[in-house]
Amino acid sequence: MTIAQKLSFDVQLSDHARTAAEREQVMANPGFGQVFTDHMITIDYTDGEGWHDARLRPYGPLSLDPATSVFHYGQELFEGLKAYRQGNGSIVAFRPYANAARFNRSAVRMAMPELPEETFVESLDLLVRTEQDWVPTTEGHSLYLRPFIIATQIGLGVNYPSRTYTYLVIASPAASYFAGGVKPVSVWLSTEYTRAAPGGTGAAKCGGNYAAAFVAQREAVEQGCDQVVWLDAHEHRYVEEMGGMNLFFVFGDKLVTPALTGTLLPGITRDSILALAADLGLETEERLISTDEWQAGCESGELTEVFACGTAAVVTPVGSVKGADRAWTVGDGTPGPVTMRVREELVGIQYGARPDTHNWIHKIV
């Protein structure tokens, strides 16, 4: 249910915000998702009343009854996007309305209320404007924004979704996601575990998908790999995603990416790369791609590069693949030219070094 009402945000500034010196110390080496700014957004929702009490307030712990629904039944979902400081000093977000739309698609699947897209984007704008000194100036760094929504009804009844929710946005200055820059990752093909099945929640950005994935990610690490690659639930033959990122396969000057069958998360980075490809003289194709085709393509030399993409790590080359009874290298195992060109174009648009011909940049400051 979308309730079209104009919310105005009540602003309560922190009286213990960090000093410039403290902030600079934190931002010198922020890591990813480790440190948070001084404020956050909260908006409450009640069935019948709709969204209310929109607030910018000091960052801090939430006080929730132990019987709150989210702790027991996991009714939660999130988004992830970044604010970038461009060369001219302005601060921008990349396609925030696409995140707003996906947030609402996830909400529908999780029986949660939709938030007007304008309110979603306004909440980001307000937080980023307030925290603009937290947007890093270091190249490749950004302010990572994490909007999310939790079910807050108290009680253990399972027959009906929560009638109350809280939407929040927190912000975290971030270096690159994978420490050590653009370095090819090794992947483990998971045939024991499945991320998503038809009719399930694979296309929704809900925390439960991640909770169910940790065991496979741990298995990948035990197998000496960096990341897990998910295959289709039915046959464990077709490639779906890598951890929390989408995948692209480079066949010469054609980019192939797994089709959105309903079990993949529709990445905004994936969608952007499909749109950018034509600008770079690359063809695109969305279809099924099997692990057999992946291996055979690498062995014949037809499949020259593979990369993963997502907001957090942008574009990351895949260097080698390991499965229960096989292993192979992609190309010569180093980052390929198409991967690096796509990465450079996307990062260039985000940081303002390349023209924004697709109108993706949303100026905040």
Ligand X SMILES: *Cc1c(COP(=O)(O)O)cnc(C)c1O
> Nearest-CA neighbor of 39 among 78, 10, 13, 9?
13
Q: Which residues bind ligand X (CB under 6 A)?
A: 80, 205, 241, 244-246, 265, 267-270, 310-311
245 vs 321 by CB, closer to ligand X: 245
23 vs 205 by CB, closer to ligand X: 205
At position 17, the amino acid (one-letter code) is A
Tokens, residue 96: 């925030």
Tell me the C-alpha distance between 13 and 133, whole Å: 15
Least distance to ligand X from the beta carbon of 313, Å? Answer: 9
94 vs 165 by CB, closer to ligand X: 94
In this structure, the strands spanning 361-363 and 91-94 are: antiparallel
Tell me the C-alpha distance between 150 and 168, whole Å: 8
Element holding 211 (H helix, E strand): helix 207-211
210 vs 328 by CB, closer to ligand X: 210
Least distance to ligand X from the beta carbon of 57, Å? Answer: 26
Least distance to ligand X from the beta carbon of 268, Å? Answer: 3
85 vs 270 by CB, closer to ligand X: 270
Tokens, residue 21: 């010196």
Least distance to ligand X from the beta carbon of 61, Å? Answer: 25
Tokens, residue 256: 């192939």
Least distance to ligand X from the beta carbon of 280, Å? Answer: 18
Tell me the C-alpha distance between 303 and 23, whole Å: 46
Least distance to ligand X from the beta carbon of 241, Å? Answer: 5
> Nearest-CA neighbor of 313 among 187, 189, 142, 195?
142
Could you tell me how far CA 161 lies from the centroid of its own chain?
25
Instruction: Give just the sign of the alpha carbon dihedral 171, 175, 176, 178.
Output: negative
265 vs 303 by CB, closer to ligand X: 265
